[in-house]
Amino acid sequence: MQEVLPEGAVIRKLWVGEVAIYREHVLRLDPHSRRNRFGGGVSDAYVEMYLNVSFAGDAVVHGCFIDGALRGAAELRPLGSHRPDEAEAALSVEKPWQSHGVGSALLSRTLLAARNRGIRRLHMACLADNHRMQQLARKFDAELSVEFGSVIGEVATSRPTPMSLMRELLTDGHSLATAMLDLQSRMLRG
Ligand SMILES: CC(C)(COP(=O)(O)OP(=O)(O)OC[C@H]1O[C@@H](n2cnc3c(N)ncnc32)[C@H](O)[C@@H]1OP(=O)(O)O)[C@@H](O)C(=O)NCCC(=O)NCCS
């Protein structure tokens, strides 16, 4: 999918030391977007606790920086050893930058990261009235189902290939040799 982003936008992974800028981004969300992000109204203290936990785990967080400031983020959170090939994704884009392609670009990078980590199903939960998120999930061929007042979007990913690994590594600026070794060891394990 072609990425169309606002001028000056750069997407890259966030590192552990960047929890503070992630927190500032989430705290800047307007109340409606914050409610949609967390599936209900949450306090600043909850946001703080949630982000510390998410950065301590094995989540992969992509950020969209516009003119150097973090304006959008997407979390990929593996569901754990009991469901090793499944993960959930959660997105946030600050209101002035919504509907400019940022969410689509972040979800595209998240799906690539999921694929390259052997995740076969990506779940996205949102409130039933969050039509914007449902539209975004549909763009990526998600199957939508309604559960207890929420809408769950599920996207199936393909198996990783050298090409998909290379795409992620090139965007990360990592070496190709590491990618090939990683893929080889995954194939030997599988
Ligand atoms: C949901 C969200 C991540 C979407 O991000 P975004 O940057 O606005 O999304 P995009 O601009 O890439 O648009 C994606 C699709 O959404 C749909 N969309 C965009 N604006 C819309 C609007 N105002 N109403 C309904 N659908 C809309 C379109 O189908 C669009 O696809 P298109 O560009 O091909 O037309 C963003 O609105 C957001 O952060 N909302 C608050 C938090 C949230 O709801 N998170 C999701 C639950 S975890």
Domain ranges of the chain: 9-159, 160-190
Query: Which tokens sit at 24?
Result: 């500032």
Kindly report the average pLDDT of the chain as a whole number. 87
Is pLDDT above 60 for 179? no
pTM of full prediction above 0.85: yes
- In whole angstroms, give the CA distance from residue 143 to residue 156: 9
Any residues with CB less than 8 A from the CB of 126 and at least 6 apart, and which? 36, 39, 133, 134, 137, 150, 151, 153
- As a whole number of Å, the CA-based R_g of the chain is 16
- In whole angstroms, give the CA distance from residue 22 to residue 8: 19
H helix runs in 8-130, sequence order: 19-28, 31-38, 44-56, 102-116
32 lines ligand 1 (CB under 6 A): no
Model confidence pLDDT, tens digit, residues 36-60: 999 999 999 999 999 888 777 789 9
- In whole angstroms, give the CA distance from residue 162 to residue 140: 22
Model confidence pLDDT, tens digit, residues 98-120: 999 999 999 999 999 999 999 99
Is pLDDT above 60 for 26? yes
Q: By CB neighbour count within 10 A (0-12 exposed, 13-18 middle, 19+ buried), where does 99 fall?
A: exposed
Out of 136, 141, 144, give the residue to mutate to test ligand 1, the one with the largest number of ligand atoms within 8 Å of its CB. 136
Model confidence pLDDT, tens digit, residues 64-87: 999 989 999 999 999 988 888 999
What average pLDDT does the segment 152-174 reach?
84
Residue 190 banded pLDDT, cuts 50, 70, 90: low
Query: Which tokens sit at 17?
Result: 């030391």
Out of 27, 99, 154, give the residue to mutate to test ligand 1, the one with the largest number of ligand atoms within 8 Å of its CB. 99
Question: Regarding the domain delimited by 9-159, which CATH topology (the fold level of the hierarchy) does it fall under?
Answer: Aminopeptidase (3.40.630)
